[in-house]
Amino acid sequence: MQEAISSIPQLAVSPIAEILWLIPAVPIVAAGLSALLKQSGRNTSATLAIGSLSFSLLLSLVAFAHVFSDWTAGIATHEIVNFTWMQFGASNVDLGWVLDPLSAIMLVMVSFVGLLIFIYSTGYMKHDENFTRFFCFMSLFAGAMLGVVIANSLLLLFMCWEIVGLTSYLLIGFWYQKPSAAAAAKKAFLTTRIGDVFFLLGIVWLFAQTGTLLFYNNGAGSIESASLSVLLTQPAALGLTAAGAIGLLIFAGAAGKSGQFPLHVWLPDAMEGPTPVSALIHAATMVAAGVFLIARVYPLMAAGALVGGTTMALTVVTWVGAFTAVFAALIAVAQNDIKRILAYSTVSQLGYMMAGLGMGGVAVGIFHLITHAFFKALLFLGAGSVIHGCHEEQNIRRMGGLKSDMPLTFLTYAIGMLALCGFPLLFSGFWSKDGILEAAQHWSMAKAPFYMLVFGALLTAFYMTRQMVYVFGGHWRGGKPAQESPAVMIVPLGILAFFAMALGFIGTPAWPWFSAILDGNAANLDLNALIEPGLLTLMAISTVMVFLGIGWAWWFYGDRSPKPTVPDALEKAAPIAWSWLSHKFYVDEFYGVTVIAFYGWWSRVSDWLDRWIWGGVVAGVAWAFSLGARLNRFLDNNIVDGGFDKGCEELTVGGGLLSRMQTGRVQTYLRILALAVVVLAAILIWSYKT
């Protein structure tokens, strides 16, 4: 191509990899166009968004097909296109995109789920007057997310990452007239910012160390062996290598995006946005971006294995993930808002993914990511359909008996719920979760994560059953009765439901070609892998857990559908625990009394200082001066009057003489300047001579 580009060695790449950039570009262009539309251009914007995204989906499928055929031919596809974006001084900043199994799979997932959700939202947002704006944001988001996926440069990834954050902010605050929505949007933006600052630090450090931000660059990339070995030699604080430290910084960013423990607080509040948004951004794709990021820089995280085949960075990832999984699941048990429950379950599932990445590697985590994307999107859209049917009612205590009112929704929702619980054999969640559990079982560092995750599975089953019972079981407890949603909303549910079941079979231990594609080795079907004893026990354990959870929840909530006023069954059983859970372990309150309170306190303090100390000093000085002045005046008036006036006149005359200098004529000043030049030059020459 051009000089600028040819400065980077290019390998021959397939045509699809050449035009891979179109996948994100088209939706972004569509967003730009629909931004120009008037409010009335509803159909146009919807058509733009859906059309562009289906185009991206098409290309993504082509890309995936390319990868797949390569894989069947025994090649691990890895095609990169890099170019120099900007060049200052010696170093230059390169951007580029990469087509490898990871990005191909993610592309298909994002564009497919996104497309379904777009179609769904044409129904869900029908009556919103800012329809156009909504689709503008949505396709901007989709484009940016696809950009994150194909980025071959940490910088490009970060740019798209930030656009994603921006769109998330815009969409959470889409109904900005609701103060709660505005607040939630701000919270989400700021919380993720905290993570992103660390992320940026990591990027800068990486650039400083390796001089490039490209992931892969024919051996010269920042996460390829050459620069990794450099990074490993660089020691950082607390016995970490630079690689580990950078990995941790990047993980902080990822934690911010995908709501890991300390920074998870924004995700539940993000449910203030329209439900399709929650489905697309805060369940399927954006929160997965963090997980994807870790998967992308996995070589960096895994560089320089310690004893036991794992590294500091990965250990941290694992522990945070496992803890988040249990923590969020616990909270989810005691929520009443249908979307909040799903939000917390999302957080906990993200914890699973992180743990999976930490312990089992890319394939395990990403597999759960994909399956989760489908069934969680399904659940959210189902929830949306429920809310839609119940006239914007979100409290599950005031629902019930929808089984008969909204049968199709119930069916699909049930499938999603079973998939999320990991109901044995039939559902994708089971297999992907099993992958993680298996990895946890064989993890060398500690066994605790394994038990935590198993417990998490139990809780998942519990709270999902509770929700199901409340929403669909029993009899209707709300206002005017619910009715089924339009077909345009149901059809996507159906499709997602299908995938929520089918997707499991591409990753069973019997025929694990999903992980095979990712790891680039052949997959062959042998059913013996299923009845391999260690695995059998594991599957048995998780099955037992699932049934235990469901049974337990049924025993608690059964089919009795209490009045909303009656306290929750679990609350009756264990009030203290309940209050902790329903207050989300007081994390928000904790932040409120620590961080935020500190800022408030500090601002008050400085305000007080301004008012009293500095102000006081100034006032005091002023007062002293005025006292002196009074004294002076007294002396003047009575003692040195006559003589002083004379002096004053003298001074006035002198001042007048001085003020002549200020003629107000430009040329005078210019003259003075020139004189100064003369003098300076003369001095300079002299100093040079001597």
Partner 1 sequence: MIENLDQIFVLLQHWLVSFLPASWQPAAGVLLSVAAIVCLFPALFALTTVFERKGLARIQNRLGPNRVGPFGFFQPIADGIKSLTKEDIVPSSADAAVHFLAPVLLVVTVFMGFAVLPMGRNMVLVDLDAGLLFYFAMGASTELAVFMAGWSSRNKYSLLGAMRAVAQMISYEVPLLMSSVAVVMITGSLSLTKIVEAQNHYTWGFPHWYIFTPWGFAGFLMYAIATTAETNRSPFDLPEGESELVAGYHTEYSGFKFALFFLGEYVAMFSISGLGTTLFLGGWSAPFSFLTWVPSWIWFFSKLMLSIFVFIWMRGTLPRLRQDQLMNFAWKFVLPMCLVNLLVTGLWRFMGDGWLRWALCSAILMITYAGMGLAEMRRQRLGPRSYRYAE
Partner 2 sequence: MSIVFYLLAALTVAGGLAAVLLKNTVHCALALTVAFAGLALLFLNLDAQFAGFAQILVYIGAVAILVVFAILLTRGSETPKDGVFSRSWLAGLAIAAAVFAVLGWALLQSARVLPHETAVPTVTVQQIGVALVGRYVLPLEIVGMLLTAALIGAVIVAMHEKVEHEKEGSK
Partner 3 sequence: MTPLTGYLLVAALLFSIGLAGALTRRNAILVLIGIELMLNAANLNLIAFWRYGPHPEALTGMMFAIFSIAVAAAEAAVGLGLVIQIHRHAKTTDLDQMNRMKG
If the CB atoms of residues 87 and 521 are measured against partner 3, the closer one turns out to be: 87
Whichever of 7 and 521 has its CB closer to partner 2, that residue is: 7
662 touches, from partner 2, partner 1, partner 3, none (C-beta below 5 to 8 Å by class): partner 3
Using the rule CB under 8 A, give the single segment among 109-117, 289-297, 600-608, 665-673 that binds partner 3. Answer: 665-673
72 binds, among partner 1, partner 3, partner 2, none (CB under 5 to 8 A by kind): none
Residue 43 neighbours by CB under 8 Å, 6+ apart:
none
Cα–Cα distances (Å) from 503 to 371, 520, 528, in that order, read 7, 19, 21
Rg (CA), the chain: 32
Does 162 participate in binding partner 1 (rule CB under 8 A)? no
- Min dist. Cβ of residue 662 to partner 3 (A): 3
Find the binder of partner 2 among 89, 179, 643, 664 (CB under 8 A).
89
Q: Which of 199, 205, 111 is nearest to 158 (CA)?
A: 199
Window contacting partner 2 (CB under 8 A); options: 114-122, 185-193, 226-234, 668-676? 668-676
**DSSP track, 512-545:** -HHHHHHHT------GGGTT-HHHHHHHHHHHHH
3-state secondary structure 169-223: HHHHHHHCCCHHHHHHHHHHHHHHHHHHHHHHHHHHHHHHHHCCCECCCCCCCCC
HEC per residue, 356-424: HHHHHCHHHHHHHHHHHHHHHHHHHHHHHHHHHHCCCCCEHHHCCCHHHHCHHHHHHHHHHHHHHHCCC
Interface with partner 1 includes 2 (CB under 8 A)?
Answer: yes
Q: Exposed (0-12), middle (13-18) or buried (19+): which is 511, by Cβ within 10 Å?
A: middle
The answer to the question of residue 667 lying near partner 3 (CB under 8 A) is yes
Least distance to partner 3 from the beta carbon of 93, Å? Answer: 22
Candidates 640, 670, 679, 682: give the one binding partner 3 (CB under 8 A): 670
Considering only residues 661, 688, 689, 690, which one is a binding residue for partner 3 as defined by CB under 8 A?
Answer: 661
Applying CB under 8 A, which part among 1-9, 298-306, 640-648, 678-686 lies near partner 1? Answer: 1-9
Q: Binding of partner 2 at residue 204 (CB under 8 A)? A: no
Amino acid in the structure at residue 503: L
Stretch that binds partner 3, among 50-58, 139-147, 521-529, 662-670 (CB under 8 A): 662-670
Least separation in angstroms between residue 263's CB and partner 2 is: 35
Confirm or reject binding of residue 657 to partner 3 (CB under 8 A).
Answer: no
**Contact by Cβ (8 Å): 542, 432:** no
Instruction: Please identify which residue in 593, 621, 674, 685 interacts with partner 3, judged by CB under 8 A.
Output: 674
Is 682 among the residues that bind partner 2 (CB under 8 A)? yes
Question: Do 450 and 440 touch, CB atoms closer than 8 A?
Answer: yes
245: helix, strand or coil: helix
Find which of partner 1, partner 2, partner 3, none residue 2 binds, CB within 5 to 8 Å per kind.
Answer: partner 1
**Do 432 and 372 meet the contact criterion of CB atoms below 8 Å apart?**
yes
666 binds partner 3 (CB under 8 A): yes
* Shortest distance in whole angstroms from residue 21 CB to partner 2: 21
DSSP string, 596-646: IHHHHHHHHHHHHIIIIIIHHHHHHHHHHHHHHHHHHHHHHHHTSHHHHHH
CB closer to partner 3, 555 vs 669:
669
Q: Name which of 540 and 685 has its Cβ closer to partner 2.
A: 685
Closest to partner 2 by CB, 90 or 522:
90
d(CA 498, CA 376): 13
Smallest distance, partner 3 to C-beta of residue 673, A:
10
CA 216 to CA 406: how far, in whole Å?
50
Residue 367: Cβ within 10 Å count = 28
Residue 335: CA count within 13 A, CB half-sphere: 24
Residue 237, interface with partner 1 (CB under 8 A)? no
CB of 20 or CB of 255, closer to partner 1: 20
Q: Which stretch binds partner 3 (CB under 8 A): 21-29, 160-168, 558-566, 657-665?
A: 657-665
**DSSP conformation class of 673:** H
Our finding on whether 662 is near partner 1 (CB under 8 A) is no
Q: Which amino acid is at 688?
A: Y
Q: Is 18 in the site for partner 1 (CB under 8 A)?
A: yes
Neighbours of 622 (CB within 10 A): 10
Q: Are 535 and 509 in contact (CB under 8 A)?
A: yes
Interface with partner 2 includes 6 (CB under 8 A)?
Answer: no
User: How far apart, in Å, do the first and last CA atoms of the chain sit?
Assistant: 58
**Which residue number, 17 or 338, has a Cβ lying nearer to partner 1?**
17
From the list 1, 15, 73, 88, which residue makes contact with partner 2 (rule: CB under 8 A)?
Answer: 88
When CB distances are held under 5 to 8 angstroms depending on the partner's kind, the choice from partner 3, partner 2, partner 1, none that residue 661 binds is partner 3
Enter the tokens of residue 427: 């559902």
**Which position among 10, 14, 19, 569 is part of the footprint of partner 1 (CB under 8 A)?**
19
Q: Residue 81 has what DSSP assignment?
A: E
Closest CB to partner 3 among residues 593, 681: 681
Which listed residue (177, 667, 687, 690) binds partner 2 by CB under 8 A?
667
1 binds partner 1 (CB under 8 A): yes
Q: Which of partner 1, partner 3, partner 2, none is residue 1 near (CB under 5 to 8 Å by kind)? A: partner 1
Q: Which of 307, 662, 689, 690 binds partner 2 (CB under 8 A)?
A: 689
Nearer CB in complex with partner 2: 487/678: 678
| 613 binds partner 2, rule: CB under 8 A | no
Q: Identify the CA nearest to 316 among candidates 354, 266, 369, 348.
A: 354
Q: Should residue 87 be labelled a site residue for partner 2 when binding is judged by CB under 8 A?
A: yes
Q: Is 151 helix (H, G, I), strand (E, B) or coil?
A: strand
Asked if residues 430 and 547 have their Cβ atoms less than 8 Å apart, the reply is no
Q: How far is CA 297 from CA 88, 154, 233, 265, 613, in A?
A: 26, 9, 18, 25, 52
Amino acid at 639: I
Output the smallest distance, CB 669 to partner 2, in A: 12
Task: Quote the CA–CA distance of 220 and 227 in Å, as a whole number.
Answer: 7
Is 662 an interacting residue with respect to partner 3 (CB under 8 A)?
yes
Taking the complex as a whole, the smallest distance from the CB of residue 83 to partner 1 amounts, in Å, to: 8
Rule CB under 8 A: which residues touch partner 1? Answer: 1-2, 5, 18-19
Rule CB under 8 A: which residues touch partner 2? Answer: 3, 86-89, 667-668, 671, 674-675, 677-678, 681-682, 684-685, 688-689
Rule CB under 8 A: which residues touch partner 3? Answer: 658-667, 670-671, 674
